């Protein structure tokens, strides 16, 4: 058990932060949790603020409630297999109340910096509170749980300065009615792109999804009438891990074929002109979960077009196949986010000392999402006092964050000390990291 005098700072009170607070309290730490927002739940709280990532009022979870719940707090029976965004937010509120976590929360409080103390034994957390007063707090441990939706990424497009319409990132997409009667291009092919295009198809004159690579698209309920994510089991994951150790290339091939088979089981006819297949392996880009985008592509209320090569005039795009797309009123970039850790010194930024593979990978790909941390969690320099939940992508996010934060609690309490530094360096920075981090 940790002494009650040992303090832990948790930065971020989305789902990851909330469950981390609970698990750190359970092993006896004195916990203080910060969030810049006046509410908990992070992106699961609907907001019209264009500078904050959030679900829409129409959002439905891409994960089933069985895969999304924390380990000791299931969703209520009357919640459907795939809860709405509002139901997920209520679940998080109920979780905080059930475990009496709110006394640890400091909302409306922005963490501006995290540094080691002069003697190097403590962490100094600089904050701006609701009253805008800057103060510093001292902690023994710090856990950063503010996810990866930090800085929106908009790729460089030649001639974009010529475009005469509206340009936004999906972070700022809050109301499809803002684009009523317009011709809109959604840039990218991802879950957010599919969701955005489907919402726009209800009100826009024409909706185009512009993409350079393919994607597998699966419905929430598979052809057998079961939640699609229920096909992934512990036994299957163990088999995949075993196969990966023998042949990563064969594993990617088999995994990709299995996902494509599931896709064809629901959608027997996939028009080649949509350019969905071949798709990148699921180990690099997770499948899109969407119940409507294929039917909209079929009835042409959504059009699939190649990537944008350049913008040749205020409302005309030149595509990568040298065709033109005229009369475009708006571009919505669903092109991911860049994780930033500016609150940390550069020496502790988990993305600062990367591999050539990491640097060369496009933003939004799985390679780029994996920060360089021991076991994807702990700072190599301070594994017993600085940890992260979010940079390392987690399948079954809520459950995964719960289990990961339990592991952090065991390490930080001293019940399971980290290995010697040479082993951490070897695992965190060597070939093992580069190969192992790519399979999610």
Closest CA to 429 of 370, 345, 386, 360: 370
Neighbours of 307 (CB within 10 A): 18
Q: Which of 147, 155, 285, 156 is nearest to 216 (CA)?
A: 285
Cα–Cα distance measured from residue 279 to residue 260, given in angstroms and rounded to the nearest whole number: 8
Q: Does residue 113 share a domain with residue 97?
A: yes
Residue at a domain's end among 286, 305, 333 = 333
What sign for the dihedral angle of Cα 428, 429, 432, 438? Answer: positive
Residue 112 lies in a domain: yes
Q: Pick the most confident of 188-197, 257-266, 368-377.
A: 188-197
When divided into structural domains, the chain yields a total of 2
User: Which is higher by pLDDT, 6 or 1?
Assistant: 6
The confidence score (pLDDT) of residue 150 equals 75
> Does a structural domain hold residue 186?
yes
Q: What is the DSSP letter of 280?
A: P
Instruction: Over range 58-69, report the average pLDDT.
Output: 94
Tell whether 140 and 202 lie within a shared domain. Answer: no
Pairing type for strands 206-210 and 303-305 reads parallel
How confident is the model at residue 240, as a pLDDT? 76
Q: Are residues 361 and 275 in the same domain?
A: no
Q: What CATH number should be reported for the domain holding residue 165?
A: 3.50.50.60
CA atoms within 13 Å, Cβ hemisphere of 39: 13
> Quick check: 397 pLDDT over 90?
no
Question: Region 318-332: what's the mean pLDDT?
Answer: 97
Same domain, 288 and 343: no
The answer to whether 190 touches 366, Cβ cutoff 8 Å, is no
Confidence band for 319, pLDDT divided at 50, 70 and 90: very high
If asked whether residues 309 and 354 sit together in one domain, one would say no
The backbone torsions φ and ψ at residue 270, rounded to the nearest 5 degrees and listed phi first, read -115, 110
pLDDT for res 352:
72
H helix intervals, 27-160: 65-68, 85-98
Distance CA 424, CA 372 (A): 11
Give me the chain's average pLDDT, please. 89
Kindly state the average pLDDT of the residues 354-370. Answer: 56
Tell me the average pLDDT across 158-182. Answer: 97
What is the band of 241 on the pLDDT scale with cuts at 50, 70, 90?
Answer: confident
State the pLDDT confidence band at 355, using cuts at 50, 70 and 90: low
Supply angle C-alpha 46, 47, 51, rounded to 5: 135
Residue 351 sits in the same domain as residue 313: no
User: Domain ends where: 287, 313, 333?
Assistant: 333
The reply to whether 67 and 140 lie within a common domain is: yes
Percent of the chain with pLDDT over 90: 68
Q: Are 161 and 143 in a shared domain?
A: no
Shared domain check, 21 and 131: yes
Residue 182: both structure tokens together = 């317009």
Q: Inform me whether the pLDDT recorded for 363 exceeds 60.
A: no
- Give the pLDDT confidence of 178-197 residue by residue, as tens digits: 999 999 999 999 999 999 99
Domain boundary among 277, 299, 333: 333
Q: Cβ–Cβ contacts within 10 Å for residue 142, how many?
A: 26
Give every CB contact of residue 299 below 8 A, 6+ residues apart in sequence. Answer: none
Instruction: Copy the structure tokens of residue 159.
Output: 């001639």
Q: What are phi and psi of 76, to 5 degrees?
A: -60, 155
pLDDT in tens, 65-108: 999 999 999 999 999 999 999 999 999 999 999 999 999 999 99
The answer to which of 21-35, 72-86, 150-164, 236-250 has the lowest mean pLDDT is 236-250
Question: What domain range includes position 432?
Answer: 7-150+337-436
Predicted local confidence at residue 433, as pLDDT: 36
The reported pTM is 0.90
Strand pairing class (308-313; 316-319): antiparallel
Both 179 and 294 in one domain: the answer is: yes
Measured between alpha carbons, how far is 220 from 69 in angstroms, rounded to an integer?
17
Q: Tell whether the model's pLDDT for residue 437 goes beyond 70.
A: no
Residues 325 and 190 in one domain: yes
């Amino acid at each position: 058990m940790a002494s009650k005098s040992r303090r832990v700072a948790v930065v971020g009170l989305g789902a990851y932060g909330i469950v981390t607070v609970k698990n750190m309290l359970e092993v006896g730490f004195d916990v203080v949790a910060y969030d810049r927002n006046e509410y908990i739940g992070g992106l699961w709280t609907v907001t019209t603020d264009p500078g904050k990532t959030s679900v829409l009022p129409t959002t439905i979870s891409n994960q089933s409630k069985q895969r999304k719940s924390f380990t000791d707090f299931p969703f209520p029976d009357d919640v459907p297999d795939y809860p709405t965004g509002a139901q997920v937010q209520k679940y998080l509120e109920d979780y905080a109340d059930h475990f009496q976590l709110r006394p640890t929360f400091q909302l409306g409080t922005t963490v501006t910096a995290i540094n080691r103390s002069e003697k190097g034994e403590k962490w100094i957390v600089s904050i701006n509170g609701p009253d805008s007063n800057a103060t510093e707090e001292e902690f023994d441990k710090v856990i950063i749980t503010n996810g990866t939706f930090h800085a929106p990424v908009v790729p460089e497009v030649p001639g974009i300065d010529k475009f005469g319409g509206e340009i936004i990132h999906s972070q700022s997409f809050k109301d499809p009615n803002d684009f009523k009667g317009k011709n809109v291009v959604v840039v990218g092919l991802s879950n957010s792109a599919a969701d955005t295009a489907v919402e726009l198809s209800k009100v826009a004159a024409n909706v185009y999804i512009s993409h350079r690579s393919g994607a597998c698209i699966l419905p929430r309920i598979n052809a057998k009438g079961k939640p699609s994510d229920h096909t992934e089991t512990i036994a299957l994951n163990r088999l995949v891990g075993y196969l990966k150790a023998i042949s990563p290339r064969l594993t990617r091939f088999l995994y990709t074929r299995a996902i494509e088979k599931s896709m064809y089981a629901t959608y027997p006819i996939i028009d080649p002109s949509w350019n969905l297949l071949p798709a990148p392996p699921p180990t690099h880009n997770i499948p899109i979960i969407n119940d409507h985008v294929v039917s909209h592509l079929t009835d042409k209320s959504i059009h699939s077009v190649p990537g944008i090569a350049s913008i040749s005039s205020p409302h005309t795009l030149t595509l990568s196949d040298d065709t033109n797309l005229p009369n475009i009123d708006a571009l919505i970039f669903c092109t991911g986010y860049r994780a930033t850790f500016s609150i940390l010194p550069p020496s502790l930024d988990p993305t600062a000392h990367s591999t050539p593979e990491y640097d060369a990978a496009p933003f939004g790909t799985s390679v780029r999402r994996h920060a360089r941390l021991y076991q994807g969690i702990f700072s190599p320099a301070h594994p017993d006092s600085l940890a992260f939940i979010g940079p390392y992508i987690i399948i079954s996010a809520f459950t995964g964050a719960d289990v990961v934060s339990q592991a952090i609690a065991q390490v930080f309490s001293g019940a399971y000390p980290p290995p010697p530094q040479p082993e951490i360096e070897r695992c965190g920075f060597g070939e093992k990291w580069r190969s192992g981090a790519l399979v999610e």
